[in-house]
Chains A and B, each alone.
Chain A
């Protein structure tokens, strides 16, 4: 769980933020969308709750959400919930969670 990758991302964000301080808070596309998941999957997708999402790959999260959205996986609550989002929104959500560090919440 302690790959160097999240640090690199954080430093990247840091540099970007320093360059444009006014945009520091608006420069995180997907974060507000992804926050819809926090009630059940924990703040930043780190639990406690249902399956943890933070730190999974963009493709893994996106494929899972698209699979649920297709309805092929039954009529569960996540199937219906996934149907609330557009394809672009699911991509933003997936990329945002993939950029998150896993923590020991």
Chain B
């Protein structure tokens, strides 16, 4: 009833644009009301005032698309993603232990289309023109917009010797690689050795390799009683949550785990399952090789990789606009961007909101919020039913033009618990719903 009253009131006031008048949450109401009656998600009365193309349908891309529709003034949002659905990396290590299935990890774009009126193109982007703000798709179609948001995630460095072998999966983009690693683990002899290699920072999800190692160690205890796990860390020490992960490796899982710091992978041989590192040669029955990471291909092929020695995209963290001269209408969010903030899904979701808010303001003739706040949060499983948590908040620091961590807000749980493991499930559901529904 209330919605109808509001809508008819808006009509009576004969504003030029209903969406413009309502803004915010009332935009949603419009689409919810329209949804039942129409095949096409967009109301016939909608007149777009501007256009944004979002490339990449992960946590960053899906969130920015949703919030541009929620917060923007009649922005036409087109989401381009090659896959039919998204497979979440978060919780995907529980697929390796057999506790979750890949279908539990899958999220589609239906709600973004039906509830928020996002236009969806399933396709491959071959190039973008950062100055003319145009996108060329693999089928030859060219799209143009007022702004483009790139959220292509990560890409991997080639590992010498690996070639096209599937014997050493990364499973660092969830999906077929996760299934492959899970099946290799399952087939491993009961006295087998698993090798897990951690790349140098920055990489996606700082605690996640240590989490995966802890989980695999716990799984080995229950399923492969004589099994071992060797963790080859390219970094000199645990890169995050040292208190918890060192206790997990050196105490809880000490009979299973061998931790080798400063072990950068230089080469591999899939035929003999050998991993060559700066700390010697290691052989395993199963090798989870997580290669060094860089921005998604499109960032690099578009010349937006002007930070971190050409590996990631420099951005203005008030709007996530590229800092490449002339490319200011291209925004890069999530793991592809170079900021002081962690590369992780929860953070990508928040960067997406800052970006959506900034673009909404800019396209309405305003300027971005001068003092954004972001936060990172993650839970890490230490056993198959216990977890830790980690949180940190960031405030914009004008003198350095960067997001600066608030020291008092940066903390982890002291140890792990069953309660945290349960909270991890609640967090996952909340995060995925805020992103995809």
Contacts and interface: CB of A to CB of B under 8 A. Distances in A.
Most B CB within 10 A of own CB, among A6, A48, A89 = A48
Contacts of B22: 10, 14, 17
B14 to A, nearest CB: 10
Contacts of A6: 2
Nearest to A101: B25
Nearest to B375: A36
A75 B342 CA distance: 22
Given A39-B431, A42-B434, A48-B429, A75 B374 contact: no
B interface: dominant SS: helix
Contact of B364 (A13, A26, A41, A105): A26
B23 A17 contact: yes
B393 A83 contact: yes
Contact of A39 (B25, B70, B361, B434): B434
Contacts, number: 151
A86 B377 CA distance: 19
Interface of A: 2, 6-7, 10-11, 13-14, 17-18, 21-28, 31-33, 35-36, 38-44, 47-50, 75, 77, 80-86, 89, 100-101, 105
B140 to A, nearest CB: 35
Interface residues of B, number: 58
A47 B377 contact: no
B426 interface: yes
Given A75-B414, A77-B413, A40 B377 contact: yes
A14 B408 CA distance: 39
B434 A38 contact: yes
B406 interface: yes
Contacts of A85: 373, 393
A65 to B, nearest CB: 13
A80 to B, nearest CB: 4
A84 B406 contact: yes
Contact of B372 (A2, A10, A32, A49): A32
B276 interface: no
Given A18-B13, A35-B353, A49-B426, A84 B375 contact: yes
B10 interface: yes
Nearest to B435: A39
5 contacts: A7-B5, A25-B357, A35-B67, A48-B433, A80-B411
B326 interface: no
B397 interface: no
B427 A49 contact: yes
B335 to A, nearest CB: 16
A95 to B, nearest CB: 14
Given A39-B430, A42-B434, A48-B433, 11 more contacts: A14-B21, A17-B20, A18-B21, A21-B73, A32-B353, A32-B369, A40-B431, A49-B430, A77-B411, A80-B408, A84-B375
